[in-house]
């Protein structure tokens, strides 16, 4: 006898090429996000994505997002994902819209919205076009966390800035930052030839990271521009990582390489960053794109 199935509607969206399958759980109840993430993320045998994002009712604000990596592990935060959630929610009128959103010292950049994440409630600014469609979103990603034990990293130093570390018989200078999720940043001059997959996998799963880590290799072109490549925890190489770009910006300022306002050039596009001196929060601005909608059958348990 065939198992009963329910039809799940989904939307495929991406922020600078960092693509996820989005499910509106106000209408679809998902009992196991981990299992579903592993199923839908397959590039060749399913929808294909860097993971799954569930949009649920929040007890604190209008909407809550939950992020599952391609391997089924749940993440605390996704910078590119929250921009897409904001677009989806705004255009479908699923949550309250607040007043104007602005970065300290800069003009307002649209209406605001609050979204609950694994890193608490974050506020976003919605930049819309003439047809009231969200084109870009500015996210207040909050203050970076630099204390090793809070990131977490199991090393004795209180903070890890340009810490020499050996991985696979090569020495790298490592700077660690949490943007609600853990990041290890490495500035390089050989980004074009570096084996990101090899070193990314080793570093992600190294014993010093009890929760694993996102891994970023960056090359600074000017004090206001850098290129970066990412190995995301639980998903592997991705075209972009929003929280990772914020972490690289912070690491760049801490090591004297970058100014507080700078641009991250990723394989999937460009993100604008501002580690604001006035409130110590990192602001990230970038696109949010809806690709297509669809549905699939999912077994009822």
Per-residue pLDDT of the chain (301 residues; tens, 9 = 90+): 456 778 899 999 999 999 999 999 987 788 889 999 999 999 988 999 999 999 999 999 989 999 999 999 999 999 999 999 999 999 999 998 988 998 887 777 789 999 999 999 999 999 999 999 999 999 999 999 999 999 999 999 999 999 999 999 899 999 999 999 999 999 999 999 999 999 999 999 999 999 999 999 999 999 999 999 999 999 999 999 999 999 999 999 999 999 999 999 999 999 999 999 999 999 999 999 999 999 988 876 6
- Which pLDDT score, from 0 to 100, does residue 260 have? 98
Distance CA 142, CA 168 (A): 34
84, 138, 176, 241: which is the annotated catalytic residue? 241
Neighbours of 72 (CB within 10 A): 18
Q: Radius of gyration of the chain from Cα atoms?
A: 19
Instruction: Look up residue 39 and give its two tokens.
Output: 């199923």
For residue range 108-151, list pLDDT tens digits in order.
Answer: 778 999 999 999 999 999 999 999 999 999 999 999 999 999 99
Instruction: Look up residue 38 and give its two tokens.
Output: 């592993």
For residue 257, give the DSSP letter. S
Neighbours of 254 (CB within 10 A): 18
- Which pLDDT score, from 0 to 100, does residue 2 have? 53
Instruction: Look up residue 216 and give its two tokens.
Output: 């970023």
Q: Tokens 């749940």 identify what position?
A: 74
**End-to-end CA separation in angstroms for the chain:** 14
Which residues share a beta bridge with 236?
Answer: 232
List, as one string, the DSSP characters of 146-167: -BGGGTT--SSSSB-SSEEEEE
Instruction: Look up residue 215 and give its two tokens.
Output: 């891994």
78, 246, 249, 281: which is the annotated catalytic residue? 78
Contact 111, 99 (CB under 8 A): yes
Q: Please confirm, yes or no, whether 25 is among the known catalytic residues.
A: no
Q: Is 201 in a helix, a strand, or coil? A: helix
* H helices, E strands: number in the chain: 4, 19
Q: In terms of residues, how long is the chain?
A: 301
Contact 197, 231 (CB under 8 A): yes
For residue 267, give the DSSP letter. T
Q: Tokens 């104007």 identify what position?
A: 100
Q: Please confirm, yes or no, whether 249 is among the known catalytic residues.
A: no
Neighbours of 32 (CB within 10 A): 13
Cα-Cα-Cα-Cα dihedral of 289, 294, 299, 300, to 10°? 80
For residue range 28-54, list pLDDT tens digits in order.
Answer: 788 889 999 999 999 988 999 999 999
Show the domains of the chain with their CATH numbers: 5-122+290-299 (3.10.310.10), 148-286 (3.10.310.10)
- Which pLDDT score, from 0 to 100, does residue 1 have? 47
Contact 242, 139 (CB under 8 A): yes
């Amino acid at each position: 006898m065939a198992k009963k199935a329910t039809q799940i509607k989904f939307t495929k969206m991406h922020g600078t090429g960092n693509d996820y399958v989005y499910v509106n759980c106000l209408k679809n109840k998902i009992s196991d996000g981990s299992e579903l993430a592993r199923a839908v993320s397959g590039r060749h045998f399913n929808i294909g994505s860097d993971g799954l994002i569930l949009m649920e009712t929040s007890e604190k604000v209008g909407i809550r997002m939950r992020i599952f990596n391609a391997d089924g592990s749940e993440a605390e935060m996704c910078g590119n994902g929250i921009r897409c959630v904001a677009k989806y929610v705004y255009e479908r009128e699923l949550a309250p819209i607040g007043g104007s959103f602005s970065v300290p010292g800069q003009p307002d950049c649209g209406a605001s919205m609050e979204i609950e994440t694994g890193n608490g409630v974050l506020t976003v600014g919605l930049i819309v076009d003439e047809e009231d469609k969200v084109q870009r979103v500015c996210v207040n990603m909050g203050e970076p966390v630099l204390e090793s034990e809070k990131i977490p990293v199991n090393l004795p130093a209180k903070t890890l800035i340009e810490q020499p570390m050996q991985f696979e018989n090569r020495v790298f200078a490592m700077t660690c930052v949490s943007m609600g999720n853990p990041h290890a940043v490495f500035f390089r001059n050989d980004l074009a030839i570096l084996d990101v997959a090899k070193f990314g996998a080793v570093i992600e799963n190294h014993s010093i990271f009890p929760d694993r880590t996102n891994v970023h290799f960056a090359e600074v072109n000017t004090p206001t521009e850098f290129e970066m490549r990412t190995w995301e925890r639980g998903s592997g190489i991705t075209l972009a990582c929003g929280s990772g770009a914020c972490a690289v910006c912070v690491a760049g300022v801490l090591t004297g390489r970058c100014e507080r306002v700078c641009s991250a050039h990723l394989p999937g596009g460009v993100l604008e960053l501002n580690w604001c001196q006035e409130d110590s929060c990192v602001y990230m601005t970038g696109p949010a794109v809806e690709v297509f909608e669809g549905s699939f059958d999912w077994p009822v348990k």
